Amino acid sequence: MTGDYTADEMMTVTAARQLRNGSVCFVGIGLPSAACNLARRTHAPDLVLIYESGTVGARPSVLPLSIGDGELAETAICVVPLPEVFAHYLQRGRVDVGFLSAAQVDRHGNLNSTVIGSYSRPTVRLPGSGGAPDIATYAREVLLIMKQSTRSFVPRLDFLTSTGYLAGHGERARHGFPGSGPRAVITDFGILRPHRATEELELAAVYPGVAPEAARAACGWPLTVAADLEVLPTPEPADLRVLRELHAGTEEAHARPVRIRLPHFDRS
Amino acid sequence: MPLAEAVAQHVRDGQSLALEGFTHLIPFAAGHEIIRQGRRGLHLIRMTPDLIYDQMIGMGCAQRLTFSWGGNPGVGSLHRLRDAVERGWPRPLAITERTHAEMAVAYQAGASGLPCGLTRHFGDTDLDRAHESGRKDPHGDKGDREAAPLTCPFSGERLLAVPALNPDVTILHAQQVDRAGNVLIRGILGAAREAALAARCVLVTVEEQVERLDAPPNAAVLPHALLAAVSIVPGGAHPSYAAGCYERDNRFYLEWDAISRERGAFEGWMREHVLAVTDHSELLRRLGVAA
């Protein structure tokens, strides 16, 4: 079965390959966390993972459900207060890569994680910003991982939560944002990257067997296909094995019942 | 002091209230006691509302929420928060949203006796524009002023001033209290210390009382002089966790999605597990997590 893999696995393995060993990475929960921990267990053992709960250099053996699971604190180099992780690490420029996801992205890599519909009367109230706008501002570069559909890759965001390239053509840089913005969007079709001049996201790479037309059909704006479109390698059996072990261990850990010992006097 | 007494003495209708603890050490037992005592019109403040505020909002305790991330971590929506914002059930909820970094500096400012905290500002997001429209919000009240851009007098750089947060009451959960009433927090702190030092009144629930805190000099200790009341509530953070005592009940966080999705099922669960119990240990027994 090692020749077979799911779209999620292809995405996670591809995302993991975007991370360089030794870099300091601010990690969101979900797919970003899976990709970062896969990278750490394969080609990037010295990746320093920071979760917004203040755990610096976490090396979890199973994937956390929340950004503050005990597993992160127990395996971290240190645990700092939350105001410190945002001010002294992120704002001070000590984070190389911010790894994010969102409900909507537009053609210039701007993100919405706040509402669908209007702000005062939303159709869907999403969880909100969290640390995403801060990460999108200060991380030296940003990686995004999102499944592609016309609902999530939209011509116009319902709400601008986190800043990408704004309207492109250097607008982000002109505003003086310290970080350089989204370097890549890893999707279930391949990778989108910003065009050098316009900063519009283009289809730069596809997975084996994926037609560029399929990626274009799942995008809400007319997606440009890069002239030198790359075909990405399939996941290595070793990558899949590590990723599956990670997920299996995670499922088992999250299903484990919690036991709390109560003192006897408590009941009397 | 028993928790019910601490809440009865110190928590009043209409107050601003911060139950802090970032994923870790969330004071669930205290939140449940506030629900049982039927507090209303509260201005709830938390970086991540989590299940505890989902429950308090769904039970009608809250009039306003100040927060930065309102989801069920790794699971999805907080359905009661959504129902209140999207459909005004059980009552309309006014919201003030900030980013995590903005919440952090707002607590730090409150804890430092400053009127505002600072972050950098490079350009408006819609969150900043929502703040603008919030200025006309009829619910606008103290502690809820909007962030405003300003210029650094030294460098000319653009900054964002975030109004300080000074909750009427901050409630924390921690691992230990010693004989003198000093409290030790171990593990992930979030903005708990800042939220406590910013508050006018601090209540704490702890796992256990010990003779002496076995803590290094730079440990996170809250001196007894800062605290209005400490209550011993073993398991008081469940389904959140207390490092060194018990783990996060991730299974419960996953189950909450189905429990909270419909109003009827939510109310039934709250009646049976919060309103009908006398204290937190009874809830833990009903959930089968007490050993």
Q: Among all residues of A, which ones are annotated catalytic?
A: 52
**Per-residue confidence (pLDDT) for residue B144, from 0 to 100:** 56
Quick one: average pLDDT of B228-246? 97
From the first residue on, what is the mean pLDDT of each consecutive set of 10 residues in chain A (268 residues)?
A: 79 97 92 94 97 95 89 94 97 97 97 94 94 97 97 97 97 96 97 98 97 98 97 95 94 90 64
State whether residue A249 sits within 8 Å of chain B by CB: no
Sequence-distant (≥ 6) Cβ neighbours of residue B286 within 8 angstroms: B272, B273, B277
Q: Which of B122, B112, B131, B86 is nearest to B197 (CA)?
A: B112
Q: Tally Cβ neighbours within 10 Å of residue B244.
A: 12
Tokens standing for residue B276: 């009908």
- Give B86-114 pLDDT, tens digit per residue: 999 999 999 999 999 999 999 999 999 99
**Chain B partners of A125 at a C-beta cutoff of 8 Å?**
70, 77, 81-82, 85-86
Identify the band that residue B135 occupies on the pLDDT scale cut at 50, 70 and 90. Answer: very low
Match domain A7-250 to its CATH number in 3.40.50.10150, 3.40.1080.10, 3.60.15.10, 3.40.50.720: 3.40.1080.10
How high is the pLDDT of residue A183? 97
Residue-level pLDDT at A235 = 95
d(CA B84, CA B289): 30
Contact B249 A259 (CB under 8 A): no
Instruction: Identify whether the C-beta of residue A68 lies closer than 8 Å to the C-beta of residue B247.
Output: no
Question: What is the DSSP annotation of A87-129?
Answer: IIIIITT--SEEEE--SEE-TT--EE-SEEE-SSSEEEE----
Residue B80's pLDDT is what? Answer: 98
Q: Which residue of A has its CA nearest to B74?
A: A65
Residues from chain B that touch A267, judged by Cβ atoms under 8 A, are: 281
Task: Quote the percentage of chain B above a pLDDT of 90.
Answer: 90
Cα separation, B33 vs A238, in Å, equals: 51
pLDDT at A264: 64
Q: In sequence order, which residues have a C-beta less than 8 Å from that of residue A235 and are 6 or more positions away?
A: A5, A9, A10, A13, A243
pLDDT at residue A19, rounded to an integer: 97
CATH topology of domain B3-96+166-286: Glutaconate Coenzyme A-transferase (3.40.1080)
Q: pTM of the predicted model, to two decimals? A: 0.95
CB contact under 8 A, B67 and A258: no
Give me the pLDDT at residue B145, please. 66
Measured between beta carbons, the chain A residues lying within 8 angstroms of B71 are 126-128
Long-range contacts of A194-198, Cβ-Cβ distance < 8 Å, separation of 24 or more? A194/A108, A194/A109, A194/A165, A194/A168, A195/A224, A197/A169, A198/A168, A198/A169
Q: Do B246 and A53 touch (CB under 8 A)?
A: no
Average pLDDT value over all residues in chain B: 94
Q: Which of residues 185-244 of A touch B (CB under 8 A)?
A: none
What average pLDDT does the segment B159-186 reach?
97
Cβ A89 vs Cβ A97: under 8 Å: no
Instruction: Note the pLDDT of residue B141.
Output: 45
DSSP-assigned states of every residue in chain B: --HHHHHHHH--TT-EEEE--SSBS--HHHHHHHHHTT--SEEEE-SS-HHHHHHHHHTT-EEEEEES--EETTTEE-HHHHHHHHH--SS--EEEE--HHHHHHHHHHHHHT-SEEEEE--S--HHHHHHHHHTT-TT--TT-PPPEEEE-TTT--EEEEEEPP--SEEEEEEEEE-TT--EEE-S--TTHHHHHHHSSEEEEEEEEE-SS----TTSEEE-GGG-SEEEE-TTTTTTSBBTTTB---HHHHHHHHHHHHSHHHHHHHHIIIIIT-SSHHHHHHHTT-B-
Q: How far is B106 from chain A (nearest CA, A)?
A: 10
What is residue B136's predicted lDDT score, i.e. its pLDDT?
42
Are the Cβ atoms of B251 and A68 closer than 8 angstroms?
A: no
Q: Is the pLDDT of residue B139 over 50?
A: no
* Radius of gyration for the alpha carbons in chain A, expressed in angstroms and rounded: 19
Q: Domain map of chain B by residue range? A: 3-96+166-286, 105-163
Q: Are strands B158-163 and B116-120 parallel, antiparallel or unpaired?
A: antiparallel
Q: Domain coordinates of chain A in residue numbers?
A: 7-250
State how far residue B100 is from chain A, nearest Cα, in angstroms: 5
List the structure tokens of B211: 């003779």
Question: Looking at CA atoms only, how far is residue A78 from chain B in angstroms?
Answer: 10
Residue B285 pLDDT grade (very low, low, confident, very high; cuts 50, 70, 90): very high
Please tell me if residue A83 touches chain B, with a CB cutoff of 8 Å: yes
Calculate mean pLDDT across residues B115-133: 83
3-state SS class at A8: helix
Tell me the residue type at B166.
N
Give the mutation candidate from A129, A163, A267 for the B interface (greatest B CB count, under 10 A): A129
What confidence tens digit (pLDDT) does each residue in A165-215 have?
A: 999 999 999 999 999 999 999 999 999 999 999 999 999 999 999 999 999
Yes or no, beta carbons of A259 and B246 under 8 Å apart: yes
Nearest residue on chain A to B254, alpha-carbon basis: A254
Residues 6+ apart with CB under 8 A from A106: A153, A154, A155, A156, A157, A164, A221
Q: Are A181 and A140 in contact (CB under 8 A)?
A: no
Q: What is the ipTM of this complex?
A: 0.94
Please determine, for residue B133, whether its predicted confidence score (pLDDT) is greater than 80: no
Average of pLDDT values for B245-257?
Answer: 95
A51 in B contact zone (CB under 8 Å):
no
* Closest CA in chain A for residue B121: A177
CB contact under 8 A, B97 and A128: yes
Please give the radius of gyration of chain B, using alpha carbons only, rounded to the nearest integer: 19
Q: Above 70 in pLDDT, residue B173?
A: yes
Q: What is the pLDDT, as a whole number, of residue B134?
A: 47
Closest CA to B82 of B102, B108, B53: B53
Per-residue pLDDT at B142: 43
Q: What pLDDT does A74 receive?
A: 93
What Cα–Cα distance (Å) separates residue A42 from each residue in A58, A241, B104?
A: 16, 11, 35
What local confidence, expressed as pLDDT, does residue A219 receive?
98
Residues of chain B with pLDDT > 70, as a percent, come to 95
Name the residue in chain B with its Cα closest to that of A75. Answer: B187
Q: How far apart are CA B117 and CA B108, in angstroms?
A: 7
Contact B125 A133 (CB under 8 A): yes
